Structure 1
Amino acid sequence: MRTLYVSQSGCYLCLHQEQLLIKQGQTVLDQVQIPLLEQILIFGTSQLTTQLIRVCLQRNIPILYLSRMGYCYGRLIAIERGYRQLSRYQQQLTAIERLMVARAIVQAKLKNSRVILMRHQRKQPSETIAIAVQNLDHLVSQAGQADGIERLLGLEGAGAACYFPAFGECLSNRSFVFVARSRRPPGNPVNAMLSFGYQVLWNHLLSLIELQGLDPYHACLHQGNERHAALASDLIEEFRAAIVDSLVLYLVNRGVIDADQDFVYADGGCYLNDSGRKKYLRAFLNRMEERLTIDGTQQPRWDVLMQQVKKFKQFVYDPSHIYQPYQIR
């Protein structure tokens, strides 16, 4: 089954017998057999015919509408898919089952952070990075034995405290100075890009969680409330370094983003301005649209996120198979 990502604006999706056609003007960009479709994600401004929407509803193929930043405007689903059948199973997960998944999530986050640092260490050795890698190794071991969520959150915080100063050592563009993570508000251009990227990624994960029928307010590591979709906060942890941090390094070290021209300082913080957001989103979407081989088929990097959400869904149905987070090599 295939997830269809339509990220080009101005496309027109229509039905031709058992084929979904993606057109731009009179040009057919792609075509997919309807029986092979699992879901459709529309980024930006594209149109679907009423006939195609009706067939998707009849065949339980959800359609998700997102902004170019990944913010979910809404989704079209068949009536029978609209009930939160999984929420009851999520609520029935035991404290031990939640703790085991929370351990795995924190360990994956720490390991992925370590890989990002080691990649730079091989190119340009640094004592700060070497010490951070050793500390992260130690924290990974401790996280695997943590006896509670509070302990895990403490270890996650300790990991960030040693990771981000070393992350600053990986920046080769002297126009960007970064010594520590600051969020509310972001204090400098690097923090501005990290915060913006995390928000884009979090929004997209929330959309995929909703699409799979999971309850985003029941999680394992973070506590949810009416204003916090904790499951999105859980699942983003394994992707922070792999997707956002690595992209920020690319944008800074390759000179794609300009420290003077692409940011604005307001309300005590630093933020990407219009030109900066355009550059960031263009690079972000290009990276997420890169084709990877997933389960034997070519799919965009977006699909890695979908596969992890599906794995968590499988864990909810069968907690004996503990959720395995995404790890980079």
Structure 2
Amino acid sequence: MKKSYYLFNPGRLSRKDNTLCFTPVDEQGNEGQPRHIPVEGVDNLYCFGSLDANSAMYNFLGKNHVSVHFFDYYEHYTGSFMAKEYLLAGKMQVEQTRYYLSDKKRLPLARTLVEGAAFNMGKNLKYYQGRGKDVTESLARIENYTTLIATATKVDELMGIEGNIRQAYYAAFGPIINDFEMGNRSKQPPQNEVNALISFGNMMCYTVCLDQIYHTQLNPTISFLHEPGARRYSLALDLSEIFKPLLVDRTIFSVLNKKQLQANDFRQEMNRCVLKDSARKVFAQAFEDRLKETFKHRSLGRSVSYRHLVKLECYKLSKHLLGMEEYKPFKMLW
């Protein structure tokens, strides 16, 4: 089975036959121990340090459908190398565009995406409420805002409702997380440890959604809740709203409450909080373990991984756009 690899150190990527060779290189130019990876076992490469690779290498990666996702020093997602869009289909492109251009078609779909995200946020809070965490006020606020979704008449209005729901949701992080305070949500830049983890985790979730979209006929640049824009894959933003509570937030709660990450795993630089390299590795491993975790899918009647669950969501959306089956977002039951 193919897997993702995380390259935290700067280095050089080369090829020998059908094997990738990553050689870490430190600031003085000294080479470390090379690591060899058979290309047929690689799904994605996540690069957090500078990567030295030539066009022949990217041709090789493209032919083997290996995606490379890049992050800067501050954990910001900066872009991806993706092989040519080998599954794109004209009919899907046309129907996806029609849905975006028609308010009558787009608005109900955008409502459904917000409803799915709100449900999963509420489900997270109910899970911790059952374990003695006082999140009653946040749950009540989320439920009140959720009632407004059905009467929203514009996508911008839905985005505002979703923002209010998420603000109420983040207010519950304080009672849930031990030993850390989140305060207000701060993104650019994140001001404390919890905000830094949220920003980092959300970017990881975005790349997972983008990668799974790539393996379907959907066009990642045409979206329904978020506005399509230059140089961004806005459909991945749409889908990540549903999965952030499940993949990102549950991972954050786990690594902090189990003390896998502590205050000394972060550092303050200028006006921002950043993860140390060791913290990035711990969180990335926990996130990857979450993606590999399986559960019994209630509709399929078999076990699927959380990573595959994202692809199934893409398939459901595809069927909706083609008029085959009404889209219903994934909703957590636990």
1:217 has 2:221 as partner: yes
Do 2:292 and 2:307's aligned partners in 1 also have CA atoms closer than 8 Å? yes
1:266 has 2:266 as partner: no
- Describe the shift of the 1:274–1:317 C-alpha distance in structure 2 as closer, same or farther (beyond 3 A): same
Instruction: Give the alignment of 1:143-292 within 5 angstroms.
Output: 143-172=149-178, 174=179, 176-260=180-264, 262-292=265-295
Deviation at 1:85, TM superposition (A): 4.8
Amino acid at match of 1:256: Q
Deviation at 1:241, TM superposition (A): 0.9
Structure 1: gaps of 5 or more residues: 15-23, 32-39, 46-53
- Describe the shift of the 1:68–1:326 C-alpha distance in structure 2 as closer, same or farther (beyond 3 A): farther
| Distance of 1:110 and 1:91 partners within structure 2 | 26
Instruction: Give the alignment of 1:1-329 within 5 angstroms.
Output: 4-7=1-4, 41-43=43-45, 63-66=65-68, 72-75=80-83, 81=87, 85-93=91-99, 94-126=102-134, 129-172=135-178, 174=179, 176-260=180-264, 262-294=265-297, 295-318=300-323, 321-329=325-333
**Residue 197 of structure 1 aligns to a residue in which SS?**
helix
**Residue 328 of structure 1 aligns to a residue in which SS?**
coil
Deviation at 1:325, TM superposition (A): 1.3
| Aligned match of 1:37 | none
- Describe the shift of the 1:309–1:179 C-alpha distance in structure 2 as closer, same or farther (beyond 3 A): same
Deviation at 1:77, TM superposition (A): 6.5
Amino acid at match of 2:279: G
TM-score, normalized by length of structure 1? 0.76
* CA offsets 1:7-26 (integer angstroms, 9 cap, x no match): 479xx999xxxxxxxxx99x
Deviation at 1:84, TM superposition (A): 5.3
Do 1:168 and 1:177's aligned partners in 2 also have CA atoms closer than 8 Å? yes
Indicate the RMSD between aligned Cα atoms, in angstroms: 3.2
Deviation at 1:259, TM superposition (A): 1.2
Amino acid at match of 1:148: K
Q: How many residues are treated as equivalent by the alignment?
A: 285
| Distance of 1:222 and 1:212 partners within structure 2 | 20
- Describe the shift of the 1:68–1:253 C-alpha distance in structure 2 as closer, same or farther (beyond 3 A): farther
| Distance of 1:13 and 1:259 partners within structure 2 | 44
Deviation at 1:65, TM superposition (A): 3.0
| Aligned match of 1:34 | none
- Describe the shift of the 1:263–1:125 C-alpha distance in structure 2 as closer, same or farther (beyond 3 A): closer
TM-score, normalized by length of structure 2? 0.75
**Residue 75 of structure 1 aligns to a residue in which SS?**
coil
* CA offsets 1:79-111 (integer angstroms, 9 cap, x no match): xx4665522221112212211111111111111
| Distance of 1:208 and 1:259 partners within structure 2 | 34
